[in-house]
């Protein structure tokens, strides 16, 4: 089945709506899982992309060792849905969040990261001595300059501080090279990925020498995953591959491009068609992330149409010369070019199955 | 009370969180209400800004004649909360939406807009002959080129088509000059507002001559409201004034600037502070709209700090020379520079009252 806005099952969905092509989703999941297996590295895909326990479950069924989350609310939503092997990839800053983490860990063990001694203390105070120990990784800044410890001495000091807490267990390192993932040129991206990996490798070895072996070295992303199986990583955190951002389709590999296809669309309706050369749909800034390439793939409109944001609830579609606007009510599928923040704009997905049937799947853990 | 992240009541709120300074909110509401009263024009503030029945109720208590909504879901949420005088300002494109509008109109009369004959037919088919007639305005394109009928002849034809339906009632015109609201220079904005108003005035007169008097001429926004009381409008649709976008603070008036103050903030926590010259907070693209000026007002951090987006859940704060990063867990208030899409990122507000107390207020009708 090829996803089309003319599918009878799509005609009754209230627009704007978030639509997933299930066949493409499953192919993306299988491809990354197979790739990790071939590389002998575990896969812990990032749920901040999809915020869906249903997608997480499919990733685990395909072989993923667990799921990464960006917020405590995402961890809570995944844990409530029975998803195990959770890793919170962002350091927290206060006792309330630490208490929520401790409560989660009491029910099912999870792992978190820290990049500052204050966070070790917050977690140590939150986890009870009768609780299972909380697995804590040191978040290392491998060049993204966002979170993470800078420098081997500070990493070692923080790892020792974790080890010395009665209620915590040192688990290893996280180093997410966010600055590497979107580099277009293959050789340049490979070199940048290697530089980040070498830092982690050296730190991991230094810790081992000090009697602090790293059971986990977690990192990588969709853009660099092809190179990082040769790095120090025990697991890949790639997330975007599952729905596939348009921006990642620009980047080059030895084989041409990344082997993942766009699975996420916004279904919109034509709501105004009175101006020559253009028409208006009901999907704007509150339906499509603006911090990606302009949405450029349309189904349901003449070839050569261009989407422009026109406020919170509208997009203007510029028609190619001589083309007529589709009738009022016509359904269009617009490719989501930046999936994570687009998913975050909706409370639910509409999964379009292999047989054309539609199921509603909730988006979890939004602010 | 001056809103500060050191307020004891803010320390326990999980970050990132949406915070409203209730004193500023109420002052903004009172100021626009008084302004409309002085100008002898009704006020129907736009709820797409706030998506809150609580704020709508305060606007009505201050004198607003009703509330505008951008989506059917917003209308449903406001109607369910008992808010009356609702106007749906965006034309719809399908029978499902028309049916939802008809169901709402059966419970409490509302008004909608159309810009195409197909929409008249959809509504006419949806509203039953035993239902109260649905009030329908013709949406006029006064230069924004987004929705709205172009040209007087088409406006007249559409108004007649509405009048000729058994279940619909012609209510007048809507002309939203979205292209005018953000013009910085006062004289230039005034001239553009006058040009839009003159189009509506001429169309309104042409309709009157044809026996189709316009009981309602709805339009205007926060930027042009000071000029539009002299225009053809029977009511102002201004919305942003209530929380006040930073972008609107740039625009000039004869008195200097618009008399509304920012009421909306995102409360964030310091979660990483290991790099010289910067630190990281837990509010990023999923907490602050990116399609406005860079968030530039911080409370809780040294003067001269600059916010930069750093992904879905992070912002990097660049410190001025020589300043030290605040400790992990420090709370910051970041001014939301584009309120509508920022509100849309959260399920609830935290209203900080005149006495410093905090109440949770839901955000309604998100996709």
Label residue B298 by pLDDT band (50, 70, 90).
confident
The widest CA-to-CA distance across chain A, in whole angstroms, is: 73
pLDDT at B352 over 80: yes
Q: Quote the pLDDT of residue B11.
A: 84
- A-facing residues of B in 221-240 (CB < 8 A) are none
Strand partners, A139: A174
Least confident of A297-306, A314-323, A331-340, A346-355: A297-306
pLDDT at B3 over 90: no
Which token pair is A135? 């697995």
Q: CA-nearest residue of chain B to A143?
A: B275
For residues B75 and B90, is the Cβ–Cβ distance under 8 A?
Answer: no
Residue A2 has pLDDT above 70, yes or no: no
Chain A residues near residue B347 by CB distance under 8 angstroms: 366-367
- B123 touches B112 (CB < 8 A): yes
Query: Which of these, A257, A260, A259, A315, lies nearest to A287 by C-alpha position?
Result: A315
Smallest CA–CA distance, residue A327 to chain B, in Å, is 9
Note whether B15 contacts A: Cβ–Cβ < 8 A. yes
User: Per-residue pLDDT tens for A94-125?
Assistant: 999 999 999 999 999 999 999 999 999 999 99
Give B285 or B298, the one with higher predicted confidence.
B285
Q: How far is A125 from chain B (nearest CA, A)?
A: 15
The answer to whether B329 faces chain A, any CB pair under 8 Å, is yes
Strands A358-362 and A348-352 come out as antiparallel
ipTM for the predicted complex comes to 0.95
Interface of B with A in 57-76 (CB under 8 A): 70-72
* Residues in Cβ contact with A27 at an 8 Å cutoff, skipping those fewer than 6 apart: A261
8-state DSSP, B216? E
Per-residue confidence (pLDDT) for residue B276, from 0 to 100: 94
**Residues paired with B318 in a beta bridge:** B278, B306
Instruction: Pick the closest to residue B237 from B91, B43, B75 (CA basis).
Output: B43
pLDDT band for A299, please (50, 70, 90 cuts). Answer: confident
pLDDT, one tens digit per residue, over A307-318 is 999 999 999 999
A345 to chain B: which residues are within 8 Å by CB? 344, 366-367
Q: What pTM did the predictor assign? A: 0.96
Mean pLDDT of all residues belonging to chain A: 95
Question: Which of B93, B275, B313 has its CB closest to that of A271?
Answer: B93
When mean pLDDT is compared over A97-106, A241-250, A302-311, the highest value belongs to: A97-106
Indicate whether B1 pLDDT > 70: no
DSSP 8-state symbol, B298 = E
Residues with Cβ < 8 Å from B363, sequence gap 6 or more?
B18, B51, B52, B343, B344, B346, B347, B348, B349
Number of C-beta neighbours around residue B318 at 10 A: 13
The enclosing H or E element of A18 equals: strand A17-21
Angle at alpha carbon of residue B343, lines to B338 and B348, rounded to 5°: 155
Round the CA-based radius of gyration of chain B to a whole number and report it: 22
Separation between Cα atoms, residue B143 and residue B141, nearest integer Å: 6
């Amino acid at each position: 089945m090829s996803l089309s806005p003319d599918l009878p099952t799509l005609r009754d969905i209230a627009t704007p709506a978030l639509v997933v092509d299930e066949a493409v989703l499953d192919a993306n999941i299988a491809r990354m899982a197979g790739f990790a297996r071939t590389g002998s590295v575990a896969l812990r895909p990032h749920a901040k992309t999809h915020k869906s326990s249903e997608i997480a479950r499919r990733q685990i069924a395909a072989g993923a060792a667990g799921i990464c989350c960006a917020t405590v609310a995402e961890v809570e939503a995944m844990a409530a849905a029975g998803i195990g092997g959770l890793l919170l990839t962002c350091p927290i800053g206060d006792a309330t969040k630490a208490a929520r983490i401790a409560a989660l860990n009491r029910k099912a063990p999870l792992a978190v990261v820290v990049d500052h001694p204050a966070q070790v203390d917050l977690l140590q105070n939150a986890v009870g001595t009768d609780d299972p120990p909380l697995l804590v990784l040191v978040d290392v800044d491998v060049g993204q300059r966002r979170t993470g410890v800078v420098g081997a001495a500070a990493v070692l000091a923080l790892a020792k501080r974790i080890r010395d807490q009665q209620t915590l267990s040192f688990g290893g390192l996280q180093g997410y090279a966010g600055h590497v993932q979107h580099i277009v040129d293959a050789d340049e991206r490979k070199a940048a990925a290697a530089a980040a990996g070498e830092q982690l490798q050296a730190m991991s070895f230094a810790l081992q020498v000090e009697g602090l072996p790293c059971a986990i070295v977690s990192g990588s992303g969709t853009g660099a995953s092809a190179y990082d199986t040769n790095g120090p990583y025990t697991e890949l955190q790639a997330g975007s591959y599952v729905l596939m951002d348009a921006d990642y389709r620009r980047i080059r590999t030895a084989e041409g491009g990344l082997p993942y296809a766009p699975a996420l669309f916004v279904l919109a309706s034509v709501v105004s068609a009175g101006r020559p050369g253009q028409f208006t749909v009901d999907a704007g800034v509150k339906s499509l992330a603006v911090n990606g390439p302009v949405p450029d793939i349309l189904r349901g409109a003449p070839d050569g149409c261009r989407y422009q944001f026109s406020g919170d609830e509208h997009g203007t579609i510029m028609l190619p010369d001589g083309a007529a606007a589709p009738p009022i009510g016509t359904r269009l599928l617009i490719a989501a070019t930046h999936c994570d923040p687009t998913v975050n704009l909706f409370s639910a997905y509409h999964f379009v199955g292999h047989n054309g049937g539609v199921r509603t799947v909730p988006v979890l853990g939004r602010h």
